[in-house]
Structure 1
Amino acid sequence: MKLLYYCLAFALPALSASTDDDSKKAKTAHKPCTIKSPTSGAFFDLTPISVVLPEEGRKAHKDDRTESWHARGYDYPANFTVNFCAPVVEDVKDVVGVDERLWRNVSAFYEMGGRTYSIGQQNSEPVFRGRKLILNYTDGSPCTSTSSHFTYSQRSTRPSLQSREIIGGDKGDKHRGHDDDDDEKKQKGRPGKNANVRRKSTIISLLCERDPLSPLATVAFVASSPDECTYFFEARTSAACGGIEAARQQLGPGGVFGVIFLIFVLVYIVGGCVYQRTVMHQRGWRQLPNYSMWAGIGGFIKDIFIILTSSCTRLLPSRRGYARLSPNGSGSGFGQTNAPPHRGRQGSQDSESENRLIDQLDEEWDD
C-alpha cells in the first residue's frame, strides 16, 4: 500500500504543478500593442501596422515598410509623422523641449520653421473608450512653443475679450492678454516651472477598414485643441476590425513530447500499481507493473557487468612468482608445464559447475 501512495504522491504534484504553471502563464502573458474588447470580447492586434526597421544583418522583405505613417495637415501649417505602438523610424533630432535621451522614443512629431516638435512619446497600450479603440501619446514638446508663432485658420477671428480695454481700469490693465513670450520670461524665475509645464499629446482613434483593396492603414489629421496641446487623428486599418486571439504555444516540439512521455510513464506506473494490488493481490515491490521483466533486466545487466569485468581482468599481464590457487588449496604457477595427476577430474567438476550455473541463470531469465 505504501508503494501505491508513493506513486500517487509523485504523480499528483507533478500534474498540478504543470497545470498551475500553464494557468499563471495564461494570466500574466500579455503581448504589447494588443487589447481585448470588454464589451464584445474581440481581440485587437495593432502590431501589423507598427513600423519597425529590420535588424542589422537581416535582409529586408520587399513588403516591409521603411518609413512611418504620414498625415497631411491641410489648413494646419504642418504635416505629421506618426507610428503605432513604436517610435518613428525616422532619425529625429533637436526636438524642442524634449531631453536628448528621449528623442528615440518619439512616436509622433511635426516640423515647422526648421524645428521639430514632438506630440507624444511611445505608448504600446491601446485602450477602449466605450466602443472606440484609442491610442494615446503624451509628454511631447511644451505647448507654449508654437502658440504665438502662427495663426490657425480654424480659430475664431473675433477680437479676444482679454484684448479689450477695461472701463474704469488703469492704463496698465488695458491689455490683459500678455504675449506668450512675456509669460515665458516671467515663468523663468519661478520654481518648478518644468514640472508644471503643459506638454503636447496625441489621440488616435482607430477605425475598422474591411476593404481588401485599401492600404494597410491610412492616417488623417482631424483637429487640434485651441492651445495646440492636443492633436486628434483618425486611422483606418484592418487591424482595428478585431478577431479571435490565436492560442500561443508555450512549449516547443521537444517540450510537448517530453510532457506526453511523462504522462505516459505516470499512467503506466500508477495504473499498474493499482491493477497489481487490487486484481493480482500483489504486495511489496511486486506491485510494480511487469515486475519480473524489470527484475530480469536488472539481473541481465548485472551478469553482463560481471562478464565484462572478468574478461578485462584476464587481459591484464600476470606477474612471475605468483601461482593460481586450485580449489583444493594446491597451486600451480602460470609457467608450470607439468599438471598434477588429478587435474582432469578437477576440470570436469569445474565444467559441471559452470553448466549448472548457466542452467540456473536461464531459468531465472525465463521467469
Structure 2
Amino acid sequence: MISLLPSVLLLLLSQYATAASDKPLKSCTVVSPTSDRFFDLNPLQRLPPPGDKKKKKEGDEGSWHAKGYDYGANFTVNFCGPVVEELDAVQDLDKPLWRNVSAFYEKGGKQWAIGLENSVPIFRGRKLILNYTGGSLCPSSSKSKRSPIALPHDVREIITDPDKDHDDDKKKPKKPSKDKEDKNSRRKTTVISLLCDSDPLAKTSISFVAAVDDCSYFFEGRSPFACGGVHQETQALGPGGVFGVIALIAVLVYFVGGYVYQRTVMHQRGWRQLPNYAMWAGIWRFFSDMFVILTSSCARFMPSRRGYSRVSLGQENGRRGRRNEDENRLIDNLDEEWDD
C-alpha cells in the first residue's frame, strides 16, 4: 500500500502534464516537428501607437520595410498582423479588407496588397515559413478578358420558325458568371522565410528575394526570435511545484506508514495510532499552555470590580487592627491587676 502511493501520485502528475501539453498554442507561435523547439514571433509584430490607431507619429518606426531594388518599388511588411500604416487606395480589394493587409507596395501612385493577415506560421521541413494570401489581383487575371465565342455560320442565319428559334437558344453558350471569374482569378501572395540569427547584437531584418510573374513574392527574414527555445507552457510544474510534490509525498508516506505500523505492530488505538504520538502530544500541550498564559495575562487589562473589593478589604483590616489593639490593652490591664 505504501509503495503504491508514490506511483499513483506520479501517474496523476504525468496525466496533468500531458493535458497541459495538449493545450492549443497562442497565435503567431509554432513548435518545430523535427526539433520540438518552440518559436514565438509575436515580438516581431509592429503595433500601432496607442490612442489613434493606424496613425503614424513622428519617431515611430512603423512596419518593416524592404527595398525592392530592380523591382521598382519598396515593400512594407508586418509579421502576424496588419501593417501599421494607413491605407487609402488598395487595388482590387474591398475597403473593409484594407485593415487586414499585412504586406503591400506602392507603384504608379497606387497601393497593391500582396497578402492579408495570417498569424499561423508553419514549417516546410526545417524552414520556418509565414504565408500571406488574398492580396490584389495578379496582372494576368485583372487584364485578361474572355474572348467572345464564335458561332457557326448556320446559327447566324435568320430563322423564322419560332419553335426552331427556341430550340437554338438552348444551344447557345451562356456567358460565365462573375462568381466563376473570381474563382478562376489569381491574387498576389507573399512567402516569408525566417532564418535564425544567433548573434547577440543582431537585429531583425527583412529583405526582398524575388517576385514571380508579379503574383508571388518571396522575402527572407533574419531574427534572434527565429532561433526557437523551450516551450515554458508545456512544463506543468516549476521547481517550486516539483519540490512541493516531493514534500507532499514524503508527508503522506510518513503519516500513512506510521499509522499502519502503530495499528498493526504496536496495536495502538485512537490518537495513539499517529506516528510519534508523544512528540505531537507534547507540541499540542506546549501551544495550549502558551494560549492559557497569553489569555490570562491579557485578562488583567480587562475592566473588573477589583477596586471595590480592595476598599472593603481595607475597612475590614482597619477594624481587625482596632480589635487587636483593644485586646492588647485588656491583656495589659489584667497583667497589672495580677501584679498588684
With the shorter chain as reference, the TM-score category is 0.5 to 0.7
Structure 1, unaligned runs of 5 or more: 58-63, 149-159, 173-185, 324-332, 342-367
Q: Considering only aligned residues, what root-mean-square deviation do their CA atoms show, in Å?
A: 5.2
Match of 1:222 among 201, 210, 234: 210
- 1:243-254 aligned at under 5 Å gives the runs 245-248=229-232
Does residue 200 of the first structure (1) align with residue 187 of the second (2)? yes
Cα deviation for residue 248 of structure 1 reads 1.4
- 1:32-111 aligned at under 5 Å gives the runs 32-38=27-33, 40-41=34-35, 43=37, 45=39, 47=41, 50-53=44-47, 66-72=62-68, 74-75=70-71, 78-111=73-106
CA distance in 2, matches of 1:210, 1:71: 20
Q: In the alignment, residue 223 of structure 1 is paired with which amino acid? A: A
Q: What is the percentage of aligned positions where both structures have the same residue? A: 38
Q: In the alignment, residue 86 of structure 1 is paired with which amino acid? A: G
Per-residue CA distance 1:170-195 (angstroms, 9 max, x = gap): 9x9xxxxxxxxxxxxx99xx786998
Q: Is the 8 A contact 1:272 1:287 kept in 2?
A: no
Q: Is the 8 A contact 1:120 1:138 kept in 2?
A: yes
Does residue 147 of the first structure (1) align with residue 135 of the second (2)? no
TM-score w.r.t. structure 1 length? 0.56
Does residue 278 of the first structure (1) align with residue 266 of the second (2)? no
Cα deviation for residue 109 of structure 1 reads 0.9
Does residue 264 of the first structure (1) align with residue 259 of the second (2)? no
CA distance in 2, matches of 1:210, 1:202: 25
- 1:13-24 aligned at under 5 Å gives the runs 17-24=12-19
Cα deviation for residue 20 of structure 1 reads 3.2
Does residue 134 of the first structure (1) align with residue 99 of the second (2)? no
CA distance in 2, matches of 1:195, 1:168: 29
Cα deviation for residue 102 of structure 1 reads 4.0
Classify the secondary structure of the residue corresponding to 1:125: coil
Residues 215 and 305 from structure 1, CA distance in 2 versus in 1: closer, same or farther, beyond 3 angstroms? closer
Per-residue CA distance 1:251-282 (angstroms, 9 max, x = gap): 899x7436523531441232343146338635
CA distance in 2, matches of 1:214, 1:311: 70
TM-score w.r.t. structure 2 length? 0.60
Residues 298 and 137 from structure 1, CA distance in 2 versus in 1: closer, same or farther, beyond 3 angstroms? same
Q: Is the 8 A contact 2:195 2:222 kept in 1?
A: yes
Q: In the alignment, residue 200 of structure 1 is paired with which amino acid? A: R
Alignment-derived partner of residue 26 in structure 1: 21
How many residues in Structure 1 have an aligned counterpart in Structure 2?
Answer: 286
Deviates more, 1:313-322 or 1:129-138: 313-322
Structure with bigger helix share is: 2
Alignment-derived partner of residue 309 in structure 1: 295
Does residue 232 of the first structure (1) align with residue 217 of the second (2)? yes
Alignment-derived partner of residue 355 in structure 1: none
Q: Is the 8 A contact 2:39 2:226 kept in 1?
A: no
Q: Is the 8 A contact 2:76 2:105 kept in 1?
A: yes
Cα deviation for residue 128 of structure 1 reads 3.6
- 1:275-354 aligned at under 5 Å gives the runs 275=258, 277-278=260-261, 281=266, 282-319=268-305, 335-337=312-314, 338=316
Alignment-derived partner of residue 334 in structure 2: none
Q: Is the 8 A contact 1:42 1:242 kept in 2?
A: no
Cα deviation for residue 198 of structure 1 reads 4.8
- 1:115-130 aligned at under 5 Å gives the runs 115-129=110-124
Per-residue CA distance 1:309-351 (angstroms, 9 max, x = gap): 333444433349998xxxxxxxxx8723448x9xxxxxxxxxx
Per-residue CA distance 1:133-191 (angstroms, 9 max, x = gap): 4322123235579934xxxxxxxxxxx99879979779x9xxxxxxxxxxxxx99xx78
CA distance in 2, matches of 1:131, 1:262: 38
